[in-house]
Amino acid sequence: MKAIKEKHSLAMRWCHWVNFPILTIMIWSGMLIYWANDEYSFTIFGHTFFRFFPDWFYHALKIPHRLAEGMAFHFLFMWFFTLNGFFYILYTLISGEWRELVPQKKSFKEAWLVLLHDLHIRKMAPPQKKYNAAQRIAYTAIIVMAIGSVITGLAIYKPVQFYYLTWLCGGYHFARIIHFALTLGYVFFFLIHIMQVILAGWNNFRSVISGFEIVNDTPKPAIQKIDKDEHPG
């Protein structure tokens, strides 16, 4: 029999959907800023495999010569990004939902099994509650990354007033590299996330908007037939 099962709280859904456009704007305006000194590349033993970013990429997204504009957007939406994240963390702590989210000891072992299962290598996925082991790791990592973005961001935004943050991030250069790498991390997360959401299907996706899932509970009969051969204890 079908039944409604509550899944995502309103606060979680709100934070999730508010974050999506804000993070998009932060990444876009961040690229407008990065363009003015685009020194990063993927280079191993002197061979450059990929330059961040190729010209076609900049032109396709109309990135060049918009540093001032990028900064103006970035330094407005940083407030919303930080406040929304702060509210989400506060909520998960107060509501106790962090227990469903934070990886457990077994999560790191189980995450491999989840991965093998998702890749159709292993048939059975380990039993889970709201989130499986891989989700626990991913959804906690994304929060740690967000905190990292705020800290490295402040470290390069006000390296004098927040000199201790700059020091903590390994200096101005390294802070900027981490800030950039975390952004690549978000894009990577987004790609996997979208793929998983598509694979998980409508019921799962809907729950992030409406809050509930429809589950098929096979009701247990009130009177159980007992086979003569069996002797239930």
The residue among 217 and 227 lying less far from another protein, judged by its C-beta, is 217
User: Is the CB of residue 6 less than 8 Å from the CB of residue 211?
Assistant: yes
Smallest distance from the beta carbon of 162 to another protein, in angstroms? 8
Contact positions with another protein (CB under 8 A) in 188-217: 206, 209-212, 214
In degrees and rounded to multiples of 5, residue 7 shows phi and psi of: -125, -65
Whether 126 and 133 have beta carbons less than 8 Å apart is answered as yes
* Stretch 94-123: interaction string toward another protein, x if CB under 8 A: ------------------------------
Which of 61, 72, 90, 200 touches another protein by CB under 8 A? 72
Closest CA to 30 of 186, 228, 206: 186
> Using CB under 8 A, which of 54, 106, 158, 181 touches another protein?
158
The 8-class DSSP code of residue 44 comes to E
State the residue for tokens 């996997």. Answer: 192
CB nearer to another protein: give 136 or 176.
176
Residue among 76 and 93 whose Cβ is closer to another protein: 76
β-partners of residue 213 are 5
The span from the first CA to the last CA of the chain, in angstroms, equals 29
User: Alpha carbon 106 to chain centroid distance?
Assistant: 21
Q: What does the alpha-carbon distance between residue 141 and residue 225 come to, in Å, rounded to a whole number?
A: 49
160 binds another protein (CB under 8 A): yes
Site string for another protein, 30-69 (x = CB under 8 A): ---xx-xx-x---------------------------xxx
Query: Strand, helix or coil at 201?
Result: coil
Helices (H) and strands (E) in the chain, counts: 9, 4
Q: Which of 60, 76, 144, 192 binds another protein (CB under 8 A)?
A: 76
Interacting residue ranges for another protein, rule: CB under 8 A: 2-4, 17, 21, 25, 33-34, 36-37, 39, 67-69, 71-73, 75-76, 79, 158-163, 166, 172-173, 176, 206, 209-212, 214
